[in-house]
Amino acid sequence: MKTAESLTTIRFDGESVVYLDQRRLPLHEHLVHARTVDDFVEAIASLGVRGAPAIGIFGAYGVALLAQQASNEERLRQDAARIRAARPTAVNLGWAVDRVLAAPDKLAEARAIHHEQIEVDRRLAHTALELFPRDAAVFTHCNTGPIATGGGGTALGAIIHAAAAGRRLRVFVGETRPLLQGARLTMFELRRAGVEATLVVDSAAAAVMQQKKIDLIIVGADRIARNGDTANKIGTYGLAIAAAHHRIPFYVAAPRSSFDLALADGRAIPIEERSAEEVTASGANVYNPAFDITPGHLITAFVTEYGVLRPPYAESLPELVTCPSITVLMAAAGT
Ligand code: MRU
């Protein structure tokens, strides 16, 4: 069976950065070419490309492409700053843009970031396997699959890998209001991977935990502070509270590039607020935060490419700084 990983999510073609337009999924698998800084900013801000690692890779290729066109260094810095600011919450975007800006060979650096993410996702999914019982009911939120990372996916990659490894899974997917990343994208990716799943509306999540004997919840992250406080798609915090009430393990799967260890806690994480039109055309007052902060104490463990990190997070998370880079590990493994 064709897997979602075989879809082009992001590709550099020499003259443009080609991306799969996530706004049009699942009805249309439409590829778009980004060529100008406006194209990159628009694609990220309107969720044509979305998912923390994917916007990092897309921004990285964007800076590499614009570097070929830029008349001078100052112009490139201004363009990169615009791309960096297109969405504020995921730390991966600024991290990737800065890496490319600082590199002498910008295209090679963007390609390295992309290549590393594929390996990171592979390792993360292998690590996560130990968390899945042989028969398990699993709940996930938003979309954290291949299209969200440019690799195999984080939380959803772990679910797909566990199913492929023979775990008998009953997968429940929260629809993820208001832009339906769960209903549109996660259901699409699970279908492509041949994994059966059941879609539930967000407001059914607590009832599903109560009635369906959920064994574990696994979600992704956009930014994780040093104490484990985690920004992720709006609704994640409510899931974590309900999971604690039902004593369900609550896992966050994320690459090291999503950890912002300079931040002591979640209060300093910028939360993107999006337009009222995403929620209603009525002109009513709307508060539409795209993300929320789940306190670290509600998170059972983090799953990373380096292993499973458990509390106390003030001790386990800073250890990520001393881990060898994924490039070094790949070289050591001969991959
Ligand atoms: O607004 P989105 O769709 O970009 O939000 C995405 C999420 O919240 C994901 O869980 C997160 O970026 C991790 S993707 C591997």
The model's pLDDT over 89-147, given as tens digits with 9 standing for 90+, comes to 999 999 999 999 999 999 999 999 999 999 999 999 999 999 999 999 999 999 999 99
Cis peptide before 104 (omega within 30 of 0): no
Report residue 59: phi and psi, to 5°: -60, -35
Q: Which of 222, 229, 260, 292 is catalytic?
A: 222
User: Hey, which residues does 173 pair with through a beta bridge?
Assistant: 140, 199
Which of the listed residues 46, 139, 142, 186 should we mutate to test ligand 1's pocket, taking the one with most ligand atoms within 8 A of CB? 142
CA dist., res. 8 & res. 207, Å (int): 37
222 is catalytic: yes
Percentage of residues in the chain having pLDDT higher than 70: 98
Closest CA to 254 of 175, 111, 324, 151: 151
Task: Write out the two tokens for 261.
Answer: 């260890």
Nearest C-alpha to atom 7 of ligand 1 is from which residue? 233
Q: Are 168 and 136 in contact (CB under 8 A)?
A: yes
Fold classification of 4-119 is Four Helix Bundle (Hemerythrin (Met), subunit A) (1.20.120)
CATH 3.40.50.10470 residue spans of the chain? 122-333
SS3 category, 303: strand
Phi-psi category of residue 307: left, alpha or beta, with phi > 0 → left and psi -120 to 50 → alpha: left
Task: State whether the beta carbon of 192 lies less than 6 angstroms from ligand 1.
Answer: no
CA dist., res. 156 & res. 15, Å (int): 32
On whether the 122-333 domain is CATH 3.40.50.10470, my answer is yes
- Given the structure tokens 């999971």, which residue do they identify? 243
CATH 1.20.120.420 residue spans of the chain? 4-119
Which of the listed residues 46, 177, 232, 303 should we mutate to test ligand 1's pocket, taking the one with most ligand atoms within 8 A of CB? 232
Query: Confidence class of residue 164 from pLDDT cuts 50, 70 and 90?
Result: very high
**pTM listed for this prediction:** 0.96
Given a cut of 70, whether residue 270 has pLDDT beyond it is: yes
Task: State whether the beta carbon of 185 lies less than 6 angstroms from ligand 1.
Answer: no
Task: State whether the beta carbon of 51 lies less than 6 angstroms from ligand 1.
Answer: yes
Closest CA to 42 of 77, 99, 87: 87
CA dist., res. 56 & res. 327, Å (int): 17
Contacts of 16 (CB under 8 A, 6+ apart): 33, 34, 35, 65
pLDDT tens track for 171-226? 999 999 999 999 999 999 999 999 999 999 999 999 999 998 899 999 999 999 99
Task: State whether the beta carbon of 290 lies less than 6 angstroms from ligand 1.
Answer: yes
pLDDT tens track for 284-297? 999 999 999 999 99
Task: State whether the beta carbon of 52 lies less than 6 angstroms from ligand 1.
Answer: yes
